[in-house]
Amino acid sequence: MTDSNPSVSNNFIAKIIQEDLSTGKVQKVVTRFPPEPNGYLHVGHAKSICLNFGVAEQFGGECNLRFDDTNPEKENQEYIDAIKDDVTWLGFQWAGEIHYASDYFDQLHDWAVYLIGEGKAYVCDLSPDEIREYRGTLTEPGKNSPYRERSVEENLDLFARMRAGEFDEGTKALRAKIDMSSPNMNLRDPIIYRIRKAHHHQTGDKWCIYPTYDYTHGQSDAIEGITHSVCTLEFEDHKPLYNWFIANLPVPATPTQYEFGRLNLDYTVTSKRKLKFLVDEAVVAGWDDPRMPTISGMRRRGFTPRSVRNFCDMIGVTRSDGMVDVAMLEHALRDDLNKNAPRAMAVIKPLKVVIENLPEGHIEQLSAPFHPELDLGSRDMPFTRELFIDQDDFKEEYSKKFKKKFTPGNRIRLRFGYVLECISYDKDADGNVTLVRANLIENTLGVDPEDGVKPKGVVHWVSASECKTAELRQYERLFTHPSPDKTDGDFMEYVNRDSLTVTTAMIEPALADVAAESNFQFEREGYYVADRYDHSPSAPVFNLTIGLREDKALLG
């Protein structure tokens, strides 16, 4: 971990590992995180990352990062780089070098030849549609392929010719010979190799046949000496096949698969296919758009690694799938930012205030701490004759409802500054207040007025002459329905087309120079982050991370 001690987990996976270590079943814990590089990782992957890396760290073991790169048409280097960044950003480090399933293609090929030699695999000429038809249904057994009883010699010859590129895609496949009447569909002679004449991002054009995930995964685990192969529940029905390959191949180790419930978050879509559709159709600005539930998008939105890890701890690890309220994620984020984010001031709806009893050109540097409790240092805030306050902090008439507002004849305190008293205001032809005139009450920096007339409230402000103009990107949830991909309609029907609005704000000059990805609480406004790519001193850009209150919604 980079910024906190690892939490001690007591979930059922951790208990299994503890038992295995105590009984001597394993001497050292080795886990792995095996994403397919066919898209960016999302919040569900964050749970798996925290689990696999977390338990390895907790028990003094290791966790490998292994890319499941068996489908070259949909994979590329951009996704690989993004995944590496995500894992690192969350605060984890993989053991040794990065692994790729393609590292083992030669060994996997040799083991396929071994299965053929053992009479446990055969080359099938059925088309993909015919293979599906022959497989049967959940209530009806499948039928044997007419090519199932080919001789070992013929299968070896055909498989070699498949590798040599003699056959077109879809014309032949290598299948394991298991049981076409098995109640588990995954054991009905699954495909081991298929013909794919595609360039591979790691192996180039060396191969024109590629192993399937089900064949590759367990053997990769065995090669790497994985002790606990942890995956989500949708792979539970694949476990018998995982075990069949391990039992029928001369693998160097015998890993065990364990399943846990995946993360389902309301108001969120996590299907990579649907996320890619949002990107391809320009509904969002990319995989790392701050509205996306990708780890990269959450990072750009202003999530911290600690808030994501805390959320994963909160929801726990169980043996059942369930829907998690997005409010839990928002709570973890808001709680972390409230405790740790520096404070600053930004005025989103500026109203100019002129302090009549200060001279033209007056400038004074007031010191303001970055955090009320943490020692995060302080910054200078230029105090000048002309200021901006928020329009909502001024009312033309006093009332109990607006008793903490700036009103004629009443006083307010500037945050970290002096007490002002309103003396008059100007309006435009439409009746809008355009300017407030005030007097400064002397000797009130940090103390109440000597005359005993206390200010009614405290407002945030910036210097009108010294402030900077920043672009604010205000985000709302991307989807309007709690289950956008589980309805009868198209999930696109529930896209919030107004999920992004862009406005400007007047900010403290110090905020223009902060580093990208710096989190702040803009006092009385919300939590914001300097955009990862677009923020600069000459053109500050801040993204709304989340509102100050629990009722301010967030992620889509």
Q: Which residues are catalytic?
A: 36, 262, 272
**Which conformational region is residue 316 in: left (phi greater than 0), alpha (psi within -120 to 50 degrees), or beta?**
left
Q: Which two three-digit tokens encode residue 156?
A: 């070896």
Helix, strand, coil tally for the chain in percent (to 5): 30, 25, 45
**Pair type for strands 541-546 and 468-475:** parallel
Q: Which two three-digit tokens encode residue 234?
A: 């949708």
Beta strand ranges found along 54-195 (DSSP E): 62-67, 99-100, 121-124, 173-176, 191-195
The dihedral of CA 528, 529, 534, 536: what is its sign?
Answer: positive
User: Of 240, 212, 242, 210, nearest to 229 (Cα)?
Assistant: 242
Provide the edge-to-edge strand list for the sheet that holds 191-195. Answer: 121-124, 173-176, 191-195, 209-211
The H-or-E segment that residue 245 falls in is helix 239-248
Q: How far apart are CA 510 and CA 540, in angstroms?
A: 11
Helix, strand counts (H, E) of the chain? 12, 27
> How many other CB atoms are found less than 10 A from the CB of residue 531?
20
- Residue 224: strand, helix, or coil: helix
Q: How far apart are CA 349 and CA 334, in angstroms?
A: 24
- Exposed, middle or buried: residue 151 (CB in 10 Å: 0-12, 13-18, 19+)? exposed
Q: Distances from the Cα of 133 to the Cαs of 130, 185, 434, in angstroms?
A: 5, 12, 74
User: How many Cα atoms sit within 13 Å of 126 on the Cβ side?
Assistant: 21
DSSP secondary structure, 437-501, as one string: EEEEETT-SSS--TTS---S-EE-EEETTT-EEEEEEEE--SBSSSSTTSSSS-GGGGB-TTSEE
> How many other CB atoms are found less than 10 A from the CB of residue 97?
9
User: Of 5, 4, 9, 2, nearest to 312 (Cα)?
Assistant: 9
Cα Rg for the chain, rounded, in angstroms?
Answer: 31
